[in-house]
Amino acid sequence: MQKYDVIVVGAGHAGCEAALAAARMGMKTAIFTISLDNIGVMSCNPSLGGPAKSHLAREIDALGGEMGKNIDKTFIQIRVLNTKKGPAVRSLRAQADKVAYAREMKNTLENTKNLSVIQGMVSELIVEEENEKKIIKGIKIREGLEYRAKVVILATGTFLRGLIHIGENNFRAGRMGELSSEELPLSMEKIGLKLGRFKTGTPARVDARTINFSVLEEQPGEKEQILKFSNSTTDEWISNRKQIPCYIAHTNEEVHDIIRANRERSPMFNGRIQGLGPRYCPSIEDKVYRYPDKNQHHLFLEREGYNTNEIYVGGMSSSLPVDVQEKMLRKVKGFEEVRIMRYAYAIEYDYVLPEEIKYSLESRIVNNLFLAGQINGTSGYEEAGAQGLMAGINAVKKIRGEEPLILDRADSYIGTLIDDLVSKGTNEPYRMFTARSEYRLYLREDNADLRLSRIGYELGLVSEEDYRRVEKKRKDVDEIIALLSKTNVGPSNLKVNEVLLKRGEQPIKDGTTLIELLRRPEVKFEDIKYIAENLKDVNLTIYNYDTEYQAEVCVKYQGYIERSLKMIEKHKAMENKKIPSDINYDELKTIPKEAKDKLKRVNPVNIGQASRISGVSPADIQAILIYLKMRGN
């Protein structure tokens, strides 16, 4: 029997981050996967980032995770979305070479000190009772071996009783072509974990050689600016990367008519699928019925790598029969001769109700058992990776007898994600959006490193070199803003007038500073650099793009940022008001039973968390505050 400090079950995006964090923090760690060939596989879309998801990926990197580093090594296209909108919703998105991404992650795991990578299907959790408490002691695998550990992290993805649907056909699988886990969920139920059932899906992959790209809209990658997810990635590493374009196509009424004519053959509508699907990432048949007034829907064509002809048809997830998939795809403009390489399918799987976990991601009923990723009811690689990283960190802290790392929703999107899951639960696969954060003007992707790198550094997950680089950025931003504030430009400055005339703006007044110029909506930092070329003692060419952009955002949105910081200050006052773990909610006579039950189940550690629990009213919060004051807390 082998013994470890930490065992991680599952080697998807959550499991990889959890195992790497635990091992890098010095724990003897083992990660178990059904197949060593499928570590870090991108099961659905071959990309990372996009609105809110890029925030999570950047935060993972700031804390010392691997996702950002790995996509920088393997992307085939990268660009910024929402450039015409404000910085709060600006987001980086990268297309991955799918095979290379998984290969690089596998290589990283296999070459990490303290980490063992083991192929084996986990069939049972070993749980014992000590002092009337359930404590996990290890796992058993189907191959007959037993492994012991101080902490176990479950990151099982869609593999728990996975059931794939394609039209009238369904079969057991964790992903297409992979085994599902049938015994482990039974063991989980046996120890008292409450399971629910969700559904997700993936679109067809088609042969690029059979698409007429000339009639489609091309989306090229960014070529002018060096873009990256990780602070540790050097510009030289990616500066000459060949980028492959994506394309946009559209469905039409002919496609929709085929879908409507085959409604009864869709397991989504004929009752075969029981699990709830993601409302914000619906199948094409769901979109057609949900939006009957729309005569077309966008399709995003994304190549899956440099050395493959597979094209991912984003926006066309489906569980319709294969013959229907063939018919409807060939009605798309540019797809008249298309050949399908992999058919679309839906998959149902078990998950653990997120109310079952603490803010540390530890189980409420089984000590030393942590859960991360889709098992907690989320969807998406970035959401999974964020939870995996936090589970790995808190597993180590639990072993060390330290307080868990609980990120506040006012400090990070990761904190928002976990707070939403624990305090509100979810009745559909949870997906992160910028709208979920009330502090999004402050929690931007461009300042994730400034917000969180100190934590990663103190945990030992961020290197000295990377941390010093972040601190230099912080210092340089302050330096730029101070320089712009004290530098005056007069109306006789020809370069200033030249720039303003191009913008169609009013001339400046005498004594105007560079920072006042930059606050004008149409003036960019590039303009300020151009103007500053003829100004004495002003050199803005020594800073990199990230630093310049950060300074520009801080200047242009100063008022909004200050307002957001005031909101955060009020929020922190609520978060700092702790609720003792021994509080007896039954003693609070004015709180309804429903609210008491939810408070007891979630067990919030502070007033802020209590206030966000669905069904707990402001009057209930006031009653708790009065009760705590009477107790002297």
The pLDDT of residue 432 is: 95
**Tokens 């602070």 sit on residue:** 231
Joined together, the tokens standing for residue 508 give 């400046």
Could you give the 3-state DSSP secondary structure of residue 547?
helix
Residues 6+ apart with CB under 8 A from 570: none
The predicted-structure confidence for 576-587, as pLDDT tens digits, reads as follows 899 998 899 998
Cβ(36)–Cβ(105) below 8 Å: no
Sign of CA dihedral 230, 233, 236, 238: negative
The pLDDT of residue 352 is: 97
| Distance of alpha carbon 613 from alpha carbon 295, whole angstroms | 40
Number of residues assigned to the chain:
633
| Distance of alpha carbon 408 from alpha carbon 406, whole angstroms | 6
Which one, of 184, 112, 86, 109, lies nearest residue 141 by Cα? 184
The pLDDT of residue 43 is: 93
Which one, of 404, 408, 409, 338, lies nearest residue 368 by Cα? 404
Most distant CA atoms of the chain, gap in Å: 83
Could you give the 3-state DSSP secondary structure of residue 402?
coil
| Distance of alpha carbon 490 from alpha carbon 58, whole angstroms | 40
The DSSP string of 352-378 is E-GGGB-TTSBBSSEETEEE-SGGGTB
Which one, of 394, 384, 385, lies nearest residue 430 by Cα? 384
Backbone phi, then psi, for 205, in 5-degree steps?
-110, 135
Below-70 pLDDT ranges, the chain: 490-495, 497, 633
Give the Cβ contact number of residue 377 at 10 Å: 25
The pLDDT of residue 493 is: 64
The predicted-structure confidence for 8-29, as pLDDT tens digits, reads as follows 999 999 999 999 999 999 999 9
The pLDDT of residue 158 is: 94
Cβ(299)–Cβ(315) below 8 Å: yes
What's the pTM value of the predicted model, to 2 decimals? Answer: 0.93
* β-sheet with 246-250: strand ranges across: 217-219, 246-250, 298-303, 310-314, 205-207, 340-342
How many CA atoms within 13 Å lie on the side-chain side of 462?
A: 27
Cβ(147)–Cβ(7) below 8 Å: yes
CA distances to 154, 408, 459, 465 from 416, in Å: 21, 7, 21, 29
Burial (CB < 10 A; 0-12, 13-18, 19+), residue 126, is middle
Strands 169-172 and 146-154: unpaired
Could you give the 3-state DSSP secondary structure of residue 49?
strand
The pLDDT of residue 278 is: 74
